[in-house]
Amino acid sequence: MKILITGGTGFIGSYVTYNLCKKHKITILARNSEKIPLFLSIKNISIKKFDFKNLKNFKILCKNHECLILIALGWGKTGPLMIQNETLPQIAMVDAAVNSGIKKIIFTSSTAAVGPINKTTDENCKPNPSDFYGATKASVEMFLSAYSNYHKDLFINIIRPGYTFGNPVVFGGPVEPDNRFRIIVNKVIKNETVEVIKNDGTQFIWAGDLAKIYEKVLESNCKNEIFFGLSENFITWEQIAKWAFEFAGKKVKIKLKNLGWRKNPPIYSVEKIKKFFGLSFNSEEKIKEHIKYFLF
């Protein structure tokens, strides 16, 4: 299959690209075509420099491709800027892809589209975003549902990743943009006290596992479906700090800030990826590897 990927040199995108190129031909659209030099030498990967602020030629780029995977994110500090930089470009690219004949589209949303949860939540939960990032993701999801219903032969699906982590997929590749792992490890290296919120954590997912969800969705006949991209297990930042001290061979120095967060937090259900694709993930071992990557 010939696949067009936006954001294929970013963190999540690099894992998705590397996984899919083993069986499919990938064209990455990237702001910096030389961001991951090793990708330039890998069979089935081609990279084209592309400015997401200028979509005039996007329909032409879609020609001869069978699938579009949208991973790149446009950012803005205000609501109007998020609409301008993320919502509108994503919908414009989808519209161009549909009009060029592409029949499969995967959009990368986020658990932020759902907003804060107070009970176990599945993909059918009504979106209630609490920030502009979640709002723009939720709004794109709504447009994609409309496109899917307008076009009966169009297979649009959505993946909502949670906190995604991992070492570079290839030499020169990026790690996750969130720097909390690095901050904790740096404090451990300096033998400083690590301060974390008591019971704060999440259902971390390793980027390699997340890439498997993209692969399964791509190769399925799913239409207008949403899938959480998360592991089953909930891990706290306190536990991550304890592992970091343990692996560094140092005495644990952790200060817990009590904000009243409950010990058994609400979680996102991951039953759907198990039911549809037989996928189930536990992030513990990969988190330990990731800590050691920053330590050593």
CA–CA–CA angle 95, 96, 99 (5° rounding): 85
Among residues of the chain, what percentage have pLDDT more than 70?
A: 100
Per-residue pLDDT tens digits for 101-127:
999 999 999 999 999 998 999 999 999
Cα–Cα separations (whole angstroms), residue 152 to 77, 147, 148: 36, 9, 7
Number of C-beta neighbours around residue 172 at 10 A: 14
> CA-to-CA distance for 69 and 71, rounded, in angstroms?
6
User: How many angstroms separate the CA atoms of 215 and 18, rounded?
Assistant: 11
Residue 132 has pLDDT above 90, yes or no: yes
Residue 242 exposed, middle or buried by CB count within 10 Å (0-12, 13-18, 19+): middle
Q: Are 187 and 242 in contact (CB under 8 A)?
A: no
d(CA 296, CA 293): 6
* φ, ψ of residue 57 in degrees (nearest 5): -100, 10
**Kind plus residue range of the DSSP H or E element containing 108:** strand 104-108
pLDDT at position 129? 97
Read off the amino acid at residue 295: L
- Read off the pLDDT band of 54 (50, 70, 90): confident
For 107, residues 6+ apart whose C-beta sits below 8 A from its C-beta are: 70, 90, 94, 140, 141, 144, 156, 157, 158, 159
281 contacts: CB under 8 Å, gap ≥ 6: 205, 206, 209, 230, 231, 232, 270
Indicate whether 175 pLDDT > 90. Answer: yes
Helix (H) or strand (E) holding 144: helix 132-150
Q: What's the pLDDT score for residue 239?
A: 98
Cα dist from 146 to 111, 156, 243, whole Å: 20, 10, 46
pLDDT band at 203 (very low <50, low <70, confident <90, very high): very high
Token readout for 204 is 């971390």
At 38, list the tokens.
């090793």
Give the whole-number percent of the chain exceeding pLDDT 90: 96
Of the candidates 216, 140, 181, which has an alpha carbon nearest to the alpha carbon of residue 289? 181
Give yes or no for residue 51 having a pLDDT over 90: no
pLDDT over 90 at 52, yes or no: no
Q: What is the mean pLDDT of the chain?
A: 97
Is 90 exceeded by the pLDDT of residue 56?
no
Burial zone of 82 (CB within 10 Å; 0-12 exposed, 13-18 middle, 19+ buried)? buried
Q: At what angle do helices 237-248 and 180-189 cross, to 10 degrees?
A: 40
Provide the pLDDT for residue 53: 81
> 54 or 279: which carries more pLDDT confidence?
279
Q: CB of 5 within 8 A of CB of 17?
A: yes
Of 51-65, 75-89, 279-293, the one with minimum mean pLDDT is 51-65
Q: Looking at 47-56, 96-105, 219-228, which range is the least confident one?
A: 47-56
Residue 256 has pLDDT above 90, yes or no: yes
pLDDT of residue 238: 98
pLDDT of 209: 98
Q: Where are the domains of the chain?
A: 2-164+204-229
CATH number of 2-164+204-229: 3.40.50.720
Average the pLDDT over each of 45-54, 134-143, 212-221, 266-275 and give the range with the smallest value: 45-54
